[in-house]
Chain A
Amino acid sequence: MSEQPKKPAKKKVELDPRFVNYKHVWVVVESERGEVHPVSWELLGEGRKLADALGVQLCGVVMCGPGERGAGICGEAFTYGADKCYLMQDEVLKDYRNEPYTKALTDLVNTYQPEILMLGASTLGRDLAGSVATTLGTGLVADCTELVIETETRNLASTRPTFGGSLLCTIMTQRHRPQMATVRPRVMAMPEADGSRSGEIVTVPFSMIETSIVTKVLEFIADDTRDKPNLPFADIIVSGGRGLKKPENFQLVWDLAKVLGAEVGASRPVVQAGWAELDRQVGQSGKTVRPKLYIAAGISGAIQHRVGMDGADVIIAINTDANAPIFDFAHYGIVGNAMTILPALTEAFKAHLAQAKKAG
């Protein structure tokens, strides 16, 4: 096309002049009583890559009460890759409430103008992201599984499952800034903390008074987590599906899990049938998991399920159907009946472990 072939033709896209002042990648570092939700660190790991691709800074946003360890959280954020943290500490930000948090984050965005704003897809993150995006009139993409920068346009291409995980779609927010995205816990890898990293803390005052806030927190009843399964952070998971035929056969999953010290997971149909609790459902409509070992017994591997577990390091699948989709992405497969293979595996693991103990 070019008349002067001396320089290689370089496609140059002019950045929309409205966007020139929008710079840097932001991650909301979500904390509750000084405890940071791990998804925030996972987001910083991902945000680091985006910031590097754009050649900008990665910034954390920390909002909490005055008595809480705000600066400590910022310090941790630096070890996970943040260059800078905006810290807002105020009495009205002590407990999460939609109204003050929406105002705080919206004000920050309007003042400092990030080009990308990411939040965890937790109950807090989803509540806040939807409100802030509407207030700012910008685009928000929920539950992203992949985030990529289009270098020439500086646009963020956000990929997410849709139609219950049957398909993936890539969504762009080309005409608005900031570009917002949420990511579910355990979808992105946890970065290694680097204790030698530090950064700049920008303390930002917040001017909202309690009497102007309509919603009041009367009480916070902390969950009793003692008997609650924590699938997203389990290292080993044994999951059962419809291939187990009867609810009583689900016990075979528990038996193997016990030998391995594993958590028990389940596919959606099995949870819907009441064989396992909702907290154990793995997949698009359940939990996203990232164990070192995932054993899927009698699970066909519908995309719905796959999006929740395909980050596992090692996947072992047992299914009677050699053509089941699970064998397309599992690492090891056995074509066979889960009802007979599961007890055999339980015995084999038991024997192997007993032997290892003797030898060790």
Chain B
Amino acid sequence: MHSVVCIKQVPDSAQIRVHPVTNTIMRQGVPAIINPYDLFALEEALRLKDRFGGTVTVVTMGPPMAEAALRKCLSYGADDAILVSDRAFAGSDTLATSYALATTIKKIMGNMPVDLIFTGKQTIDGDTAQVGPGIAKRLDYQLLTYVSKIVDLDLDKKEITVERRAEGGVQLLKTATPCLITMLEGTNEMRFGDLDDLFRAARYDLKVWNREAAGIDDAEMIGLKGSPTVVSKVFAPRPRSQRAEMVETVDNDPKNLAVTLLAKVFTQHPKLEKEIAKRAG
């Protein structure tokens, strides 16, 4: 079987700092990592490969430095990696990105049929969760989002059964392959790659496709032109007009601080006092 896993290289958002004057992201020194949600997608694809054999192809759209993320995926056990990289993609929003990736996947399918496409549930930098659904729609594939478990896969019948996290419960869904799955986080644990894969990843001649190589003929569909959304402003959140009212006592003894705080809060918010008393009562 053949799975395609779409990943993204992202700045580690836990370490992002914003320049206090220019309000721009200070990327310097911030490590670039594989979007953590994508690792659940990759691991699931690798598990299916363990069971059924076949190939796992990893795809990313990004700048040349995203090659590092693809090599990491190869070291975990992915078989092939494609970097779709072109200046023409600059400024692509989720709609343009899903077009570029869907077209790339069609190109991949020309060489080897694809059974399943995996993505993470969302990225940690954009947080939109829109590219996965976008790719599915553009390929006219069934979309299974927030999948927590692949219950059954029948390659001959081209059928898959999954558990999907829905509002207020879990859906057990059965659909046809090929389809697109976005994996829920925490559903599996990424393996340690073995030494052979580590060496192979370092030496592997991964494919770098520009726009034409990826089969994207219509440049109007990508980049700024292909993006209906336009970022008009980026800014840091405003502080509240007033800073917190600081509670202090002469001795700064915890007990006195606590009592002083309560008196202050309850005097200014008598309703809150009633609310708490009601619950405690």
- Which residue of chain B has its CB nearest to the CB of A303? B237
How far, in whole Å, are A345 and B266 apart by their CA atoms in the complex? 13
Question: Residue B202 at the A interface, CB < 8 A?
Answer: no
- Which residue of chain A has its CB nearest to the CB of B246? A333
Residue pairs across A and B with Cβ atoms less than 8 A apart, 14 shown, are A162-B127, A164-B125, A166-B16, A172-B229, A216-B173, A285-B124, A292-B275, A307-B237, A316-B265, A332-B264, A335-B246, A345-B258, A345-B261, A348-B262
Known: A214-B176, A349-B276. A167 touches B235 (CB 8 A): yes
Taking beta carbons and an 8 Å cutoff, which residues of B are in contact with A? 11, 13-14, 16-18, 23, 25, 93-95, 98, 124-134, 136-138, 142-146, 161, 165-176, 186, 227-237, 239-240, 243-248, 252, 254-255, 257-259, 261-262, 264-266, 269, 272-273, 275-277, 279-281
Taking beta carbons and an 8 Å cutoff, which residues of A are in contact with B? 30, 32, 35, 37, 95-99, 102, 122-124, 126-127, 129-131, 133-135, 137-143, 157, 161-176, 214-223, 225, 235-236, 259-261, 268-269, 278, 284-285, 292-293, 303-304, 306-307, 313-317, 326-336, 340-341, 343-345, 347-349, 352-353, 356-357, 360
Q: Do most interface residues of chain A lie in helix, strand or loop, or is the interface mixed?
A: mixed
A284 cross-chain contacts in B, Cβ below 8 A? 127
Contact B261 A334 (CB under 8 A): yes
Which of A284, A326, A333 has the most B CB atoms < 10 Å from its CB?
A333
Contact A314 B133 (CB under 8 A): no
Contact B130 A133 (CB under 8 A): yes
How far, in whole Å, are A269 and B129 apart by their CA atoms in the complex? 22
B231 cross-chain contacts in A, Cβ below 8 A? 169-171
Q: Contact partner of A134 among B138, B236, B255, CB < 8 A?
A: B138
Give the number of A-B contacts (CB < 8 Å): 278
Contact A37 B170 (CB under 8 A): no
B265 cross-chain contacts in A, Cβ below 8 A? 314, 316, 332
Known: A134-B138, A170-B231, A306-B237. A314 touches B272 (CB 8 A): yes
How far, in whole Å, are A235 and B279 apart by their CA atoms in the complex? 10
- Which residue of chain A has its CB nearest to the CB of B37? A285
Known: A167-B235, A327-B244, A330-B244. A341 touches B258 (CB 8 A): yes
Instruction: Give, as a whole number of angstroms, the nearest-CB distance from B16 to chain A.
Output: 5
Q: Contact partner of B126 among A162, A259, A313, A328, CB < 8 A?
A: A162
Contact B233 A218 (CB under 8 A): no
Q: Contact partner of A357 among B13, B23, B281, CB < 8 A?
A: B281
Q: Contact partner of B25 among A133, A141, A163, A330, CB < 8 A?
A: A163
Known: A163-B11, A356-B273. A316 touches B125 (CB 8 A): no
Instruction: Give, as a whole number of angstroms, the nearest-CB distance from A306 to chain B.
Output: 7
Known: A317-B244, A340-B254. A220 touches B134 (CB 8 A): no
A235 cross-chain contacts in B, Cβ below 8 A? 275
B245 cross-chain contacts in A, Cβ below 8 A? 331-333
Contact B230 A98 (CB under 8 A): no
Q: Given contact pairs A98-B142, A124-B167, A130-B131, enumerate 16 new A-B contacts (beta carbons under 8 Å).
A: A134-B138, A139-B229, A164-B14, A164-B125, A166-B18, A167-B235, A170-B235, A260-B276, A328-B239, A331-B244, A332-B246, A332-B264, A333-B243, A336-B252, A347-B255, A348-B259
